Chain A
Amino acid sequence: AQSVTQPDIHITVSEGASLELRCNYSYGATPYLFWYVQSPGQGLQLLLKYFSGDTLVQGIKGFEAEFKRSQSSFNLRKPSVHWSDAAEYFCAVGPMDSSYKLIFGSGTRLLVRP
């Protein structure tokens, strides 16, 4: 069965430091991949998505993610974190055999130290 794993429940970084959030998926083919961000008490906002082509994807708010087929990973990165980046981040995968559903990881909560 398809699944998404975000191994880090919480991550704390200092403001200005670099960030990498991990995401691994289990699927037999190349899926569609997404990263969403959720601020407390808010809905989810799409940061970036990968469908095909260049494996390094640029998103909003200075985020990027790299698809690595050999590792079944789609890690999210940011070179310099701002205090406003504190939020929960969700990785999601869309199986090629479904037009309807996304499978979400359990999320990683990012805390930013001043």
Chain B
Amino acid sequence: SQTIHQWPATLVQPVGSPLSLECTVEGTSNPNLYWYRQAAGRGLQLLFYSVGIGQISSEVPQNLSASRPQDRQFILSSKKLLLSDSGFYLCAWSVRLGRGPNEQFFGPGTRLTVL
């Protein structure tokens, strides 16, 4: 069966420090991968998605970047964190089929607090 892992689970970082959040998927190949942010009391905002190694699409201009160095690994990064980067970050994956969207499967999330 497929599983998705995120780490760390929680993170407290000072303003201006770098960030690296990691997401890995097991039990599937060639997935679509997604990064979402969920601010307190808000819905989900799609940040990045990837349909293959090295292929990253950004949905919202921001202080963050994403990379996909391996088929089942998705990394969210920042060179200098801002207070507004605080939130709950969720990674998700979906099967890549020929047409139509497919259900997304979510990881447990990372709670990031920037002080």
Contacts and interface: CB of A to CB of B under 8 A. Distances in A.
Contacts of B32: 99-100
Interface stretch (B11-19, B44-52, B62-70, B79-87): B44-52
Interface string A4-43: 0000000000000000000000000000101010000111
A69 to B, nearest CB: 17
Contacts of A49: 103
A90 interface: yes
Contacts of B57: 100
Interface residues of B, number: 28
A77 B44 CA distance: 22
Contacts, number: 61
Contact-residue size bin, chain A (C-beta under 8 Å from the other chain): 20 to 34
B100 A96 contact: yes
Contacts of B100: 32, 51, 94, 96, 99
Contacts of A95: 101
